[in-house]
Each structure stands twice: as C-alpha cells, then as structure tokens.
Amino acid sequence: MSVLNSYKTVIWDWNGTLLNDVQLCIDIVNEFLQIQNKTKLNKESYQNVFDFPIVDYYKAAGLDFEQNSFEELTYKFIYKYNSNVLKQSLHNSALEVLDYCKKNNKNQYILTAANEKDVLQFVNKFKIENYFKQITGLNNYKAESKTNIGIKLMNLEQICTNSTVLIGDTTHDFDVAQHLNIDCILIADGHQNKEKLKSKSSNNTVIMSSLKELLYV
C-alpha cells in the first residue's frame, strides 16, 4: 500500500527530487573550487553542505567571494547548468510514481526554487507536462525561498491543506511545507543526505531513501 493513498494532492519539488541533477551541480561547484584552489567536494560532502539560501551553501562549500563575487558565480553556474541540464535524466522511478498518482486521480503540481520558464522547458523535454496541473517557480535565478509562491499556489488553486503533501529532497522543502501547513515527505536521494534531512526536520517527518519507496511504504 502506497503512502500516497492518503493524499488527494501532491506538490513536487523539481531539482533533485524528480530531476537527477545532483552530479551536475557537484561538477560545477567543483570547477569553482578548483579555480580558487579549494578542496573539491564528493557526493557525501556536497550533500552535507548543500543548503538554502544558495549564498550560505557556497560559503559552507569554501568559496571565497573576495575572489569571485556571488553574483559572478551565480551567472556562471546558471550558464553551465543550462548548457548541460538537458543531458540529465529523471530519477529512477520518477515516471512510475507520477503515473501512479495520475492513475489514482491525484492533483500534481511542481513547486520549485528554479526559474519557472527553464523548468517548463525541461518538463516538456521529458514529455511529462500532462502530469501536472500547474508548474510554479521563480522568475529569477537566485534560488531563494519558494514559500511565498507556494502560498500563492495554495490560494489560487484552493488546495486543501489536510489532503496535500509536499515531496522534496531538502530541509527547505520541509520548511516550505511547514509554512503551507501541509505534510512533507523527504527523499534522501537528492541534494541532501538522510543525516542532513534528519538534523533539520521534525521527528515525525517521513524520510525515504528513494522515490520507489513511495509506492510500497
């Protein structure tokens, strides 16, 4: 029996949750660290330092804004990311879970801190646009909090809090869910590992190792 059966509405995070872009993000930040002669990250250390806002994550990774400003690094990151993201794939079982939700008449949305126009392009590339009632993201590349746009989404779509879950891969997703007063399931297969997720979420937060578990837990 799937944990998803308890919900009428599923709000998905995009980066790291449905889209498997973790290694791409590691590769890019390692380029920045190498230029500054800093220690590069492996997947484990990356998942330990990644956080929101991105400016804090960059500091934790060891980047020096005296050598390269945050604005410069952001511009370079977006350029490198957008040049390679269409080569990335969805996480294993992403299509299976999306299809399960669709077949069981669940309303599905994407709520992302990424640029909305870019995510629309990626979603079209994977031919999964028909799974979602709406895709909501930011209109910039700062990867700031998505709480405010989440509140607007809930109000505009008249989404019932009691039957809605947000599924993401970071503690920011947990924080957003708290602000929206909805349940949260975190998948420890994206930008943060299980230890990081546990450290900043509540004791009763559901944390799963992969999307596959959504169908059998």
Alpha helices, DSSP H only, in 62-170?
70-84, 94-103, 116-125, 147-156
Please tell me the distance from the alpha carbon of residue 169 to that of residue 210, in angstroms, as a whole number: 10
Residue 66 pLDDT more than 90?
yes
What are the residue boundaries of the structural domains of the chain, listed by start?
3-21+89-215, 22-87
Percentage of residues of the chain with pLDDT beyond 90: 79
CATH of the domain spanning 3-21+89-215: 3.40.50.1000
Contact call for residues 94 and 71 (beta carbons, < 8 A): no
For 43-62, the pLDDT digits (tens) are: 999 999 998 888 999 999 99
Please tell me the distance from the alpha carbon of residue 34 to that of residue 194, in angstroms, as a whole number: 27
Confidence at residue 142, expressed as pLDDT on a 0 to 100 scale: 59
User: Six-digit token pair at 77?
Assistant: 């990151």
Our CA angle for 186, 52, 171, nearest 5°, is 20
